[in-house]
Amino acid sequence: MAEKKTDGTPGGVFVSGSTMGHVIRMTGTGSIGMLAIFAVDFIDMFFLSLLGEAELAAAIGFAGSILFFTMSVSIGLAIGVSVMVSRMLGAGDSAKAGQYTVSGLVLGVLLLVLLAIVTWLLVPVLLEMLGASGRTADYARRYLNILIPSMPLMVAAMMGGALLRSSGLPKFAMYSTLLGALANAVLDPLLIFTAGLGIEGAALASAIARFVMFAVAIVAVWRATDLMRAWNPAGFFGDMRDIARIAGPAVLTNVATPIGNIYVMAAAADFGDSAVAGMSIVGRIIPFAFAATFALSGSIGPIVGQNIGAERIDRVRSTLKDSLIFIAGYVAVVWLILALLADLAVTFFSATGVSADVVRLFCLGIAGSFFFNGAQFVANAAFNNLGRPMLSTLFNFAKATIGTIPFVYAGGLIWGPQGILVGQALGGSLVAMVAIFMMFGVVRRLEREGIGALKPAKRVWRIPFWPQSSPRV
């Protein structure tokens, strides 16, 4: 058995140094990768729109709905393996970190191969269930038939990126995403127009981009870390259980996200196409303006995980506080920029009437509420790494249901389309405040009881969902 190191080297790079510095470095590189992904999605739609067929955009929308669940599984697996590897690196147990790495990759590829086969066979049925028909359904089927087989590559690429971040190598994870995005952007026009492949060219470009991401990430894990040097297959099923304890709830957490957004769009539809257009424009602004908030969850997880492994609860608390301070400053700057550019945004997106009012309201006021979105991302990462992944699931579902539906409904009644935005922001902010309170409650419990409090309770009814409580003796 490998000797356990306790000095935080070579993997435990986050158990020393400024926690704010780690947060900024990890979130900065994560944001760049996130922006690259959003940009490629935009470029895909732009090139396809030049073909002049409305059915193509609709087909991509239907395909995205089918691929959403597989992406949620991939994200969940990446979170699961990242949590376990981060803890082991923080504890100085590089051998066990490597064991979880290979077991996680094997699990991810096997599961996504199975999921890809099932999805590929069910594509016609799934498209019919979603309401796709005619040329739209045909385009979506052709797109999916090319892209679905690349799903195992995608999960391996995502897990590779998570492993690099867990090892304190976020730049390599960023390079993987950037090179994949570059490949997609270059190949899109060549395959769509030059080769005349249309939507199939877009799918092929995305599949090749996934291979590039996979190759860069896995080669980086192999060459820049010791995480893939040895593996004992006999430990696979035990490793799988440990990873699944985190990955399962993480998948459900991601599945919850679209529920609230669907209701918001349905509520906006009651006020006409202009209201829906306004919400859609806001939806386009958010990923680019708030990329750092989306990157934050995956960025601080390894920092928290390594310090949990090193039993440095003081640094866990410091990391969470610094993350909230960082997101407050970031949102304040972005909010100011959006407020100054509100009229320009309206003009750029050719918004008029109600849609213009919705965009202005978002830029001038609602954008500030994204502090609470970022805060909930921090809480989700904390719950996953502090042994309470179901709390992350609980709060995401709470935000998508009781934090959205009644507030959006009331807001729409009181102030029309603008009230929908206000209601969504208010409900989400309230849920986030409770999540942050619970997060620090879990930290306080760890400070009192030690790392042993991370172990799952033997009886389900005794799991302390309220973080300040402790099991009765």
Please give the average per-residue pLDDT across 117-141, as a whole number. 90
* Residue 50 vs residue 108, higher pLDDT: 108
Across the range 417-426, mean pLDDT stands at 96
Q: H/E/C letters for each residue in 158-170?
A: HHHHHHHHHCCCH
Q: What is the pLDDT of residue 103?
A: 96
Pick from 278, 252, 312: nearest CA to 72: 252
* More confident site: 320 or 57: 320
Tokens representing residue 455 in the block: 């172990």
Q: Say how far apart CA 180 and CA 215 lie, in whole Å.
A: 10
Asked if the model's pLDDT at residue 60 lies above 90, the reply is no
Residue 3 has pLDDT above 70, yes or no: no
Share above pLDDT 70 across residues of the chain, in percent, rounded to a whole number? 93
Give whichever of 197-201, 267-271, 325-329 has the largest mean pLDDT.
325-329
Check: CB of residue 364 under 8 Å from CB of residue 339.
Answer: yes
Q: What is the 3-state secondary structure (H, E, C) of the chain?
A: CCCCCCCCCCCCHHHCCCHHHHHHHHHHHHHHHHHHHHHHHHHHHHHHHCCCCHHHHHHHHHHHHHHHHHHHHHHHHHHHHHHHHHHHHHHCCHHHHHHHHHHHHHHHHHHHHHHHHHHHHHHHHHHHHHCCCHHHHHHHHHHHHHHHHHHHHHHHHHHHHHHHHHCCCHHHHHHHHHHHHHHHHHHHHHHHHHCCCCHHHHHHHHHHHHHHHHHHHHHHHHHHCCCCCCCCHHHHHHHHHHHHHHHHHHHHHHHHHHHHHHHHHHHHHCCCHHHHHHHHHHHHHHHHHCHHHHHHHHHHHHHHHHHHHCCCHHHHHHHHHHHHHHHHHHHHHHHHHHHHCHHHHHHHCCCCHHHHHHHHHHHHCHHHHHHHHHHHHHHHHHHHHCCCHHHHHHHHHHHHCCCCHHHHHHHHHHHHHHHHHHHHHHHHHHHHHHHHHHHHHHHHHHHHHCHHHHCCCCCHHHCCCCCCCCCCC
**Residue 395 one-letter amino acid:** F
pTM exceeds 0.85: yes
Dihedral of alpha carbons 164, 165, 167, 169, sign: positive
Closest CA to 168 of 221, 246, 216, 219: 221
pLDDT, residue 277, reads: 87
Q: In whole angstroms, what is the distance from residue 373 CA to residue 425 CA?
A: 9
Report yes or no: 449 and 426 within 8 Å, Cβ to Cβ: no
Indicate the pLDDT class of residue 55, thresholds 50, 70 and 90. confident
pLDDT at position 2 is 36
Cis-peptide into 10, omega within 30 deg: yes
Q: Compute the distance between CA of residue 38 and CA of residue 258 in angstroms, rounded to an integer.
A: 17
pLDDT in tens, 148-205: 999 999 999 999 999 999 999 999 999 999 999 999 999 999 999 999 999 999 999 9
pLDDT of residue 456: 54
The whole-number pLDDT of residue 453 equals 64
In angstroms, the CA 104 to CA 100 distance is 6
Which residue's entry shows tokens 């992406």?
A: 71
- What is the chain's mean pLDDT, rounded? 89
Summarised one tens digit per residue, pLDDT across range 16-35 is 999 999 999 999 999 998 88
Q: Name which residue leads in pLDDT, 237 or 258.
A: 237
**pLDDT score recorded for residue 5:** 46
Task: Kindly report, residue by residue over 30-54, the tens digit of the pLDDT.
Answer: 999 888 888 877 777 788 878 877 7
Q: What is the mean pLDDT of residues 439-465?
A: 69
pLDDT for the residue numbered 147: 94
Is residue 420 scored above 90 in pLDDT?
yes
Q: Give the model's pLDDT for residue 260.
A: 87
pLDDT at 406 over 90: yes
Query: Over the stretch 453-462, which tens digit does the pLDDT of each residue have?
Result: 676 544 443 4
